[in-house]
Structure 1
């Protein structure tokens, strides 16, 4: 029996090609955040308004009588890297909320800001200022509001939100929308609350997604779009597989022709 018969060579070539094509990655090698089940213990609680937390950078201005408010407004500076540009090269300094949730404010000293909404923080500061200023006008703005979009979107990355409010669909729009390989019914949200990472999922195939209590995002939220099976299968496809398959086929043909003579 000729072990180099054309039929045996062709069969061997088919087996080699099949092995190459089926040596694709599994979802366990590709998909992010697989070992974090959604449960009551780690599910995101509802926040209808942005809440300040440690490491937030906030800008605070106080309006009112010019002389009275002067001690409560730090002067514009030109060398701060953690700041907001105002006029020309001048920048207004920001306050960093520390690990304990506090800021150090002129005259008033240590103020607990973390855990408050913008409305609550404004009222809190007004109450502190009323002994110094009649009818103070307080404006607070979060400077480092960023969200991160990962996975099967056209332009994954971290994005700065200027107006302190952004919806899930707006965030996906900033990232260029989902690719054709993204799972529409499995969009993952990660959020830090009370010092812990919490999770929830969205189903973009349902119109009810806009009614989700977490449809509007918080600062530092992470959105992850899981790849579908087609993307997972193609993710580990070796770019040289085509060359290898062609070479194997050509070699088998040459040998078959040679033996057949």
Structure 2
């Protein structure tokens, strides 16, 4: 019984309970740097789609700058009658009449200013709408709902992302969630501990479009132990074996 219990003991609470206070743990030090800002941290990337609309008092001029187009933005869905612009590999968008506008190194706020600067020679009074149209993240590994998920707003917390992905299974390593983020200099991978409450004030508390979350399985999953496994099953079978053995003898 002791041997069985040691091999198939339950998963410790410290491995699955979120937002714990680890300050009293031996040799613990806060691994996260403090969050500096929340909004406008995402830097635009190639293949991003932007929703851009120019509105002027003259309807004909507005129509001239807003050429309706149909783009496939993933998932096999055609988005018609909207003003979507795809960023190419050189970080340019081809804007009607204006030509190429380079958005290298821009977030959404800077990108809007770049488009405004490009329109200055042509328009005096106008209203510009500039938004990121492709707000998705990817969840892989021990999530109940793996795949690409739409973000409910421009920026969501890492716990909102986990919830959108159906939550982590009981056998996911929540202490070692891998966050893959595309930066201007290339992709970077961070390790995030979902059980540590200090993540709330850290730079990893919010995720951004195109982020990928990956949760590795625990060894219990590798040994083929499913979610329905219970120590009671093992002890029940052992008791049945002892009973039958005694009756046979």
Measured in 1, the distance between the counterparts of 2:190 and 2:99 equals 38
Measured in 1, the distance between the counterparts of 2:120 and 2:84 equals 22
- 1:74 equivalent among 57, 67, 70: 67
Using structure 1 for the length normalisation, give the TM-score: 0.65
Map of 1:1-80 to 2, 5 A cutoff?
Answer: 49-66=41-58, 67-75=60-68, 77=69, 80=71
Q: Which residue of 2 aligns with 1:216?
A: 206
Say whether the 8 Å CA contact 1:126–1:137 is kept in structure 2. no
Measured in 1, the distance between the counterparts of 2:62 and 2:117 equals 14
Q: Which residue of 2 aligns with 1:196?
A: 186
Shift, 1:69, TM fit: 3.0
- Shift of the 96–195 alpha-carbon distance from structure 1 to 2, 3 Å rule, reads farther
Shift, 1:162, TM fit: 4.7
Shift, 1:80, TM fit: 4.3
What is the CA deviation profile of residues 60-98 of structure 1, one whole-angstrom value per residue up to 9, with x for unaligned ones? 1012222443321113x5x54349xxxxx9521411101
Say whether the 8 Å CA contact 2:53–2:83 is kept in structure 1. no
Gaps of 5+ in 2: 1-6, 8-36, 227-247
Say whether the 8 Å CA contact 2:137–2:209 is kept in structure 1. yes
Say whether the 8 Å CA contact 1:64–1:135 is kept in structure 2. yes
Q: Which residue of 2 aligns with 1:14?
A: none
Say whether the 8 Å CA contact 1:182–1:227 is kept in structure 2. yes
Please state if 1:96 is matched with 2:86: yes
Measured in 2, the distance between the counterparts of 1:178 and 1:162 equals 19
What is the CA deviation profile of residues 19-78 of structure 1, one whole-angstrom value per residue up to 9, with x for unaligned ones? xx9xxxxxxxxxxxxxxxxxxxxxxxx985222110101111012222443321113x5x
Measured in 2, the distance between the counterparts of 1:194 and 1:50 equals 10
Say whether the 8 Å CA contact 1:126–1:136 is kept in structure 2. no
Q: Which residue of 2 aligns with 1:121?
A: 111
Say whether the 8 Å CA contact 2:175–2:195 is kept in structure 1. yes
Equivalent residues, number: 197
Measured in 1, the distance between the counterparts of 2:80 and 2:145 equals 33
Say whether the 8 Å CA contact 1:82–1:93 is kept in structure 2. no
Measured in 2, the distance between the counterparts of 1:160 and 1:114 equals 24
Q: Which residue of 1 aligns with 2:30?
A: none
Shift, 1:130, TM fit: 2.1
Please state if 1:170 is matched with 2:160: yes
Gaps of 5+ in 1: 1-20, 22-45, 84-88, 237-256
The residue matched to 1:49 in structure 2 has which SS? coil
Measured in 2, the distance between the counterparts of 1:202 and 1:80 equals 36
- 2:150 equivalent among 155, 160, 180: 160
Say whether the 8 Å CA contact 2:66–2:83 is kept in structure 1. no
